[in-house]
Structure 1
Amino acid sequence: MISLSSSRTRRALMACALLAFGTLSHAQQVFRVTAIPDESPTELARKAGPLVKYLESKLGMKVEYTPVTDYAAAVETLVNRKVDMAWFGGFTFVQSSVRSGGKTIPIVQRAEDEKFRSVFITTDPAIQTLADLKGKDVSFGSQSSTSGHLMPRSFLLEAGVNPDKDFRRVAFSGAHDATIAAVASGKVQAGALNISVWEKFVADKKVDTSKVRAFYTTPPYYDYNWTVHADMPAATREKLTAALLALDPATPEGAEILKLQRASKFVPSKAENYKGIEAAAKNAGLL
């Protein structure tokens, strides 16, 4: 004979299980995307909008863009599976791989990311080479930025310039557009940033090139990618990868998304592409 109390307990447990299942099922119907905050929050949200809408149609579920406060938060949200996909720079991908024990996977990158570059900019006519930065105030972007810190630092060290010893002051603006603003306003004599942000500012006439100029462009390296967690179901990963690779500049939808992402197209990516970034990070003492 089952007692009234045990019957109630079983019903309560069943109700809790159903509630938990319902919550989980609901959670699984939302695909969350984030991105390192290498530009202003409004610009990142503007870039994400059309892509979110496109992915909803391809994945058959609600897609949400989840902003984060800094680069470290972007890494942690993917490693801890608080989001399903993250837009990383090469260095943040490497950090996520280390933090997760190799459980983050880059699925696609822009064709441009196979040969990405950084630029150094200045308003000082006397600055013509990297060596001329000695004794100056110089800004990088975020400390975890590939194109705004790690790779510029790496090329400086190769040129015999140690930022920590040779610069009068090392500043970190937090984002590429903020680095441009810091140089333009005279807060620093020079800065290093992502070449695509610089070129967009120049094309949109958001920077006075009669005052601010690029004086050094780095050699190419692999950079940004879309990364997922290895625990993502294979079918979802395949569908997601196919959707990103299918973006076509010949279609209105594809053209809009690719322009916002500053991409000609997306191409497959792999972890091995970022071994050079990992080596540079270790050499610079940043990993």
Structure 2
Amino acid sequence: MLTNTSRTLRALFTCAVLSLTAAAHAQAVFRVTAIPDESPTELARKAAPLVKHLEATLGMKVEFTPVSDYAAAVEALVNKKVDLAWFGGFTFVQANARSGGKIIPLVQREEDEQFKSVFITSEPGIKTLADLKGKDVSFGSQSSTSGHLMPRSFLLQAGVDPDKDFKRVAFSGAHDATIAAVASGKVQAGALNISVWERFVADKKVDTTKVRVFYTTPPYFDYNWSVHADMPAATREKLTRAFLSLNKTTPEGKDILELQRATRFVPTKPENYKGIEAAARSASLL
């Protein structure tokens, strides 16, 4: 026969087990984020089918967790508030430095092995980078690889110092916002990610009779999907397979790859981003 004390202990034990089980279920969510290099609605649209694909691969609930800015994306993965992050090359370098080398890039789009930035303008008189002297010029986010760091690096190589030679340096916050700033005449020129520009042109969201590309940068490594080194190796392998298995011969793969503006995903490694790290240090941005 159970005593009152025994019943109480059993009840407490049952409650504890149920609480732990509930907590385990509550924590069984795989969180994904991305640097906000485009509008929140566009990021959510791009993430939706990928989230479903990852859920099927991992066998657990996956949630896309938006962040307010590039720095928040870095801090989220460094502090393990999210499990997987879409970084630009520079934000990966920042996260890796911030974490003491504990951020692992898993995959990148094939396009990211030869990524480029474009400089756009609505001014007929602007034809070269040197013509930007004395002008109002917009970058994207200060932490953007393709919208700031690499365009700045190529400007400096061309003998143009944005901080000394531009009339005003602006930061739009995102690639699509840079296009809008140039198109509206808020600035005379801007630098942005080539794939966003090409999407805007294809979708006829920009009037190319008024806004045009006048300079395309040399190629460099850029975006990747990264995880924290504390993630179990088996989970990292599942994630890598989930991306590498995507191809355009299936409806799901076609949908995801087109939204991600990717031909396919390929493995990547930290060494691919040494050039970006060097550019950041040279520009005193790291």
Where do 1:1-287 residues align within 5 Å? 14=13, 18=17, 21-287=20-286
Q: Deviations over 1:196-232 (max 9, x none)?
A: 0000000111000000000000000000000001111
Shift of 1:10: 9.9
Shift of 1:250: 1.1
CA distance in 2, matches of 1:180, 1:113: 21
Q: Report the residue type matching 1:277 in the other structure.
A: I
Shift of 1:172: 0.2
CA distance in 1, matches of 2:204, 2:124: 21
Aligned length: 284
What secondary structure is seen at the aligned counterpart in 2 of 1:105?
strand
Unmatched 5+ residue regions in structure 2?
none
Unmatched 5+ residue regions in structure 1?
none
CA distance in 1, matches of 2:247, 2:125: 45
CA distance in 2, matches of 1:15, 1:190: 66
What secondary structure is seen at the aligned counterpart in 2 of 1:196?
helix
Shift of 1:27: 3.8
Q: Deviations over 1:57-102 (max 9, x none)?
A: 1111111000001000001111111111000000000011011111
CA distance in 1, matches of 2:192, 2:147: 4
Q: Return the TM-score normalized by structure 1.
A: 0.95
Shift of 1:234: 1.1
CA distance in 1, matches of 2:194, 2:65: 25
Q: Deviations over 1:152-209 (max 9, x none)?
A: 0000000000000000000000000000000000000000000000000001110000
Q: Larger deviation: 209-218 or 232-241? A: 232-241
Q: Return the TM-score normalized by structure 2.
A: 0.95
Q: Report the residue type matching 1:103 in the other structure.
A: K
Runs of 4+ in 1 over 4 A off after TM superposition: 4-12, 14-17
Shift of 1:25: 1.7
Shift of 1:21: 3.0
Q: Report the residue type matching 2:238 in the other structure.
A: K
**Change in CA separation of 1:275 and 1:27 when aligned onto 2, cut-off 3 Å:** farther
CA distance in 2, matches of 1:15, 1:101: 42
Shift of 1:17: 5.2
**Change in CA separation of 1:278 and 1:17 when aligned onto 2, cut-off 3 Å:** farther
